[in-house]
Structure 1
Amino acid sequence: MVEHGTRLADVHREARVLLAKAGLETADLDARLLVEWLTGCDQLEAIRNPALPIDQMIVAQLHAVLTRRINGESVHRIIGKRAFFGIELGLSADTLEPRPDTEALVELAIPFLRQRIEEQGVADLIDLGTGTGAIALALLDQFSRLRAVGVDISAGALDTARDNAHINSVSDRFAGLHSDWFSEISGSFDMIISNPPYIPSADIKGLQREVVLHDPIGALDGGQDGLAPYRIIAGHSRQHLRQGGAVALEIGFGQRSDIEAIFSKEKFALAAVQRDIGGRERALLFTPM
Structure 2
Amino acid sequence: MAKVAEALRDGTARLAASGIDSALSDARILLMAALGIDRTGLLSRAAEPLPPEAAARYAAHLDRRAAREPVSRILGHREFWSLDFALGPATLDPRPDSETLVEAALAAAPDRPLLVLDLGTGTGCLLLAVLHDRPAAFGIGVDRSEAAARVARDNARALGLAGRATFLVGDWATALAGRFDLVLSNPPYIPDSDIAALEPEVREHDPRLALSGGVDGLDAYRALAAALPDLLAPGGTAVVELGIGQAADVAALFRGAGLDIAGTPHDLASIPRCLVATLGTKKAFGPTPDCR
| TM-score category (smaller protein) | over 0.9
Is 1:157 aligned to 2:139, yes or no? no
| Partner Cα separation in structure 1 for residue 130 and residue 13 of structure 2 | 40
1:192-229 alpha-carbon deviations (Å, 9 max, x no partner): 11000000111111101011111100101011110111
**Candidates 75, 78, 83, aligned match of 1:82:** 78
Q: Is the 8 A contact 1:182 1:236 kept in 2?
A: yes
Q: Where do 5+ consecutive residues of structure 1 fail to align? A: none
Q: CA deviation at 1:23?
A: 2.0
Task: Tell me how far apart the structure 1 counterparts of residues 101 and 233 of structure 2 sit (CA, whole Å).
Answer: 20
2:162 matched to 1:171? yes
TM-score by length of 2: 0.93
Map 1:129-168; keep pairs closer than 5 Å.
129-168=120-159
Match of 1:96 in 2: 92
Contact 2:76 2:88 survives alignment (8 Å): yes
Matched residue count:
280
Report the equivalent of 1:58.
Answer: 54
Find 1:73's aligned residue among 50, 69, 76: 69
Normalised to the residue count of structure 1, the TM-score between the two structures is 0.94
Structure 2 residue matching 1:274: 3-state secondary structure: coil
Q: Specify the alignment match of 1:38 in structure 2.
A: 34
Once superposed, which parts of structure 1, at least 4 consecutive aligned residues long, lie more than 6 Å away? none
Q: Of residues 271, 277, 280 in structure 2, which corresponds to 1:280?
A: 271
Q: Tell whether the 8 Å contact from 1:158 to 1:177 is kept in structure 2 after alignment.
A: yes
For residues 220 and 16 of structure 2, what CA distance do their matches in structure 1 show?
39
Contact 2:119 2:142 in 1 (8 A): yes
Q: Deviations over 1:9-28 (max 9, x none)?
A: 12212111211222211100
Distance in 1 (CA, whole Å) between partners of 2:28 and 2:270 is: 28
Cα pair 1:140 1:170 within 8 Å, conserved: yes
Report whether the alignment pairs 1:49 with 2:40.
Answer: no
Indicate if the aligned counterparts of 1:39 and 1:58 stay in contact, CA closer than 8 A.
Answer: yes
Runs (5+) with no aligned partner, structure 2:
281-292
Which amino acid in 1 is paired with 2:180? F
| Aligned counterparts of 2:44 and 2:203: Cα–Cα separation in 1 | 40
